[in-house]
Amino acid sequence: MSTMRTHDDTWDITTSVGTTAVMVAAARAIETDRPDPLIRDPYAKILVADAGTGVWEFLLDDTIDARLETVDPESAAIFRHMRGYQAVRTHFFDSYFADAVAAGIRQVVILASGLDSRAYRLDWPAGTTVYEIDQPKVLEYKAATLAAHGVSPAADRHEVPIDLRQDWPAALRAAGFDPAAPTAWLAEGLLMYLPGDAQDRLFAQITEQSAPGSRVATETAGTHSDERREEMRERFKKTAEQLGIAQPVDFADLTYNDPDRADVAAWLGGHGWRATAQHSQDEMRRLGRWLEVPMGDDKDAFSEFVTASKL
């Protein structure tokens, strides 16, 4: 259970849940600079460098791996594993969108879009409209930063500045969304920040707005024991202190560790969708990004990538 979240909390790119978007963008920037990248995000580094968090920029430091290895080899392995996971996750959902537009879908909705730059960097067919839903200040930062660097969207991009706990379907329709047209939905890096009942409500709302032939993709939330969460909290706190890195947030305080939340593929399968699930561990191994880490043998601690089509 989250200890910091409230029903009406809000954030910008430097606070609370907003900072996690900067962390994920940093992982994409690092992957992009690899000699064998799984994905290419030329805008990730810009978004991280201009965020002003004062912390996630350290991920872009070429010496961070060696410094972490000196302080705590296990933390270094977890850090490298995390970066590999983000690359694999991004690659999976990039492919999902490529398949969706190849099937003729031209309406896309990215929920809690954060610093996702797909509206700018993917090769969208003519006539594709991408709707991004997130907190107003998060969307404002991304659009303003990329515009300042001369970057324009590759699709017809529409911002929907609203909290997902509010009436986002109405705001989405007001922005031009057509519920009668097949849609490709994405909920990436989102479910862990929702309690189980809010997760159910989110997918019920998506279902209500989805015409036959629509698709949805999401990353499920892994579950960890309270003991494991506390162990990881203390490990990362100690490592950060030794490296002189300020910790703006404690991620365990932002997420909902809800072991009773619904199985996403099963929920979708029972509500008019044909769903499949790919375990992230298997996808990481397939793409050569798996590293042996503590709790690596606990599949429940790792997410699944779920895709589904509306019947």
Compute CA distances 210 → 108, 125, 184, 189, 241, whole Å: 11, 21, 9, 21, 47
Length of the chain: 311
**Inter-residue contact 59 to 25 (CB < 8 Å):** no
The arithmetic mean of pLDDT across residues 174-179, rounded, is 98
> Higher confidence at residue 193 or residue 130?
130
Contacts with 201 (C-beta within 8 Å, 6 or more apart), sequence order: none
> Higher confidence at residue 64 or residue 175?
175
Return the pLDDT at 2: 44
Q: Please tell me the least confidently modeled range out of 71-80, 157-166, 228-237, 290-299.
A: 228-237
Measured CA angle at 28 (ends 283, 224), to 5 deg: 55
Q: What are the chain's domains?
A: 17-310 (3.40.50.150)
How many Å is the maximal CA-CA distance in the chain?
A: 56
Residue 178 pLDDT greater than 80, yes or no: yes
**Inter-residue contact 210 to 183 (CB < 8 Å):** yes
DSSP 161: E
The chain-wide mean pLDDT, for the chain, equals 88
Residues forming a β-bridge with 304: 279
- Per residue in 245-285, pLDDT (tens digit) is 666 566 667 788 888 899 999 999 999 999 999 999 999 99
Q: Please tell me the least confidently modeled range out of 2-16, 159-173, 274-288.
A: 2-16
Contacts with 48 (C-beta within 8 Å, 6 or more apart), sequence order: 22, 25, 26, 29, 56, 57, 59, 60, 115
- pTM, two decimal places: 0.90
Q: Please tell me the least confidently modeled range out of 102-111, 175-184, 224-233.
A: 224-233
The arithmetic mean of pLDDT across residues 34-47, rounded, is 95
